[in-house]
Amino acid sequence: MAEIEVGIIMGSQSDWPTMREAAAILDELGVPYEARIVSAHRTPDRLWDYGRTAADRGLKVIIAGAGGAAHLPGMMASKTRVPVIGVPVQTRALSGVDSLYSIVQMPKGYPVATMAIGAAGAANAGLMAAAILATSDPALAQRLDAWRAALSASIPETPSDD
Ligand code: RP5
């Protein structure tokens, strides 16, 4: 079985409908991943263990989604050198602007590659993870090129009234 190189983590079960979009893209591209609930606030020890062991377990990219006071991506970036892609989950109270600001404004030294709010951001996180792995995986690079070409080809040149 192929080694798992992508970890998808999220603060809560309630984040999964969003983070599933990242998983769906990785499924389409044939990239194995693991998905775990790891909360910065509710399961801090789990966060610490995940970050402490991530590199040794062979993870090459971590996609971290959280909403509200979204400390998970930044805390994970502080604990591991494995690149962290942050997904701000859309919230009901503040529409995800709270999540975005919590994730994007990292201090110098501990970057989080922050995506757009919500489902599009999660899907793009999957694509970004695949693009990172594709730099050293020619077969994946071909699949990603084909995926991008298919998307491009699906866009009509003229608008329709239907
Ligand atoms: C964060 O709090 C999670 O990432 C989630 O987006 C948000 C709400 O969590 P639940 O109350 O739905 O479990 O930790």
The pTM (predicted TM-score) of the whole model is: 0.97
Is residue 12 domain-resident? yes
pLDDT of residue 15: 98
pLDDT of residue 122: 98
Is residue 160 domain-resident? no
Is residue 137 domain-resident? yes
Is residue 159 domain-resident? no
DSSP 157: S
What CA–CA distance (Å, rounded) separates 66 from 116? 12
Closest ligand 1 atom to 14 CA: 12
Is residue 162 domain-resident? no
- Is the shortest distance between the CB of 67 and ligand 1 below 6 Å? yes
Residue nearest to atom 5 of ligand 1 (CA): 67
What CA–CA distance (Å, rounded) separates 67 from 91? 6
Domain count, the chain: 1
Q: Would you give per-residue pLDDT tens digits along the chain (162 residues)?
A: 679 999 999 999 999 999 999 999 999 999 999 999 999 999 999 999 999 999 999 999 999 999 999 999 999 999 999 999 999 999 999 999 999 999 999 999 999 999 999 999 999 999 999 999 999 999 999 999 999 999 999 999 999 998
3-state helix, strand, coil in the chain (%, to 5): 45, 15, 40
Alpha helix positions (H), the chain: 16-28, 44-53, 72-79, 97-104, 119-134, 138-153
Q: Cβ neighbours of residue 134 under 8 Å, at least 6 residues apart?
A: 140, 141, 144
The reply, when asked if residue 42 is annotated as ligand binding, is: yes
What is the distance in A from the centroid of ligand 1 to the CA of 14? 6
pLDDT of residue 162: 84
